[in-house]
Chains A and B, each alone.
Chain A
Amino acid sequence: RKEVEQDPGPFNVPEGATVAFNCTYSNSASQSFFWYRQDCRKEPKLLMSVYSSGNEDGRFTAQLNRASQYISLLIRDSKLSDSATYLCVVILVTSGTYKYIFGTGTRLKVLA
């Protein structure tokens, strides 16, 4: 079983739609959680951190459910510029080392 699993998509949505992505992780030693964004043929960039209390940044809301080992990202009022691959990332801490594990990503296409 992969350590971080995501639905690869693609999710094709019209402009203005609300879309949600999910991610599950298998290792309960996972300590910190993030969403990164990767544009086509570009490097990944941090989108936002994910907390149990939930956090919001403009149109983006992230949520963590530790009991279910599940992370979500909600995008409201989708823009064309939101088209990208969204990567779920966990930091696995073992014996004092910090390993960033990336999911394979969920592709989003926002259509005009």
Chain B
Amino acid sequence: AQSVTQLGSHVSVSEGALVLLRCNYSSSVPPYLFWYVQYPNQGLQLLLKYTSAATLVKGINGFEAEFKKSETSFHLTKPSAHMSDAAEYFCAVSGRNYGQNFVFGPGTRLSVLP
């Protein structure tokens, strides 16, 4: 069965600092991997996805993530945090087989301090 862990339920960074949100997955075969962001009282917005092309994936709002098979990781980074990045971030994994469902991590709340 697939699973996702996100280290740190709450991460705080200063504005302009590097953002690093960690995601590790467990899957018997290389999965598809996703990062979503959720702002208060809203649904989830897709930030980026890995589907086996380039291992470094660029997303919206300056975010990127690198797929590392050897570490079973898909960490999300942004070089310089902005106040508007404060939100909850979810990593998700989906299998490649027909009809496998998304499994979401528990989420990491990002706070950006002025």
A and B interact = no
Interface residues of B (CB under 8 A from A): none
Interface residues of A (CB under 8 A from B): none
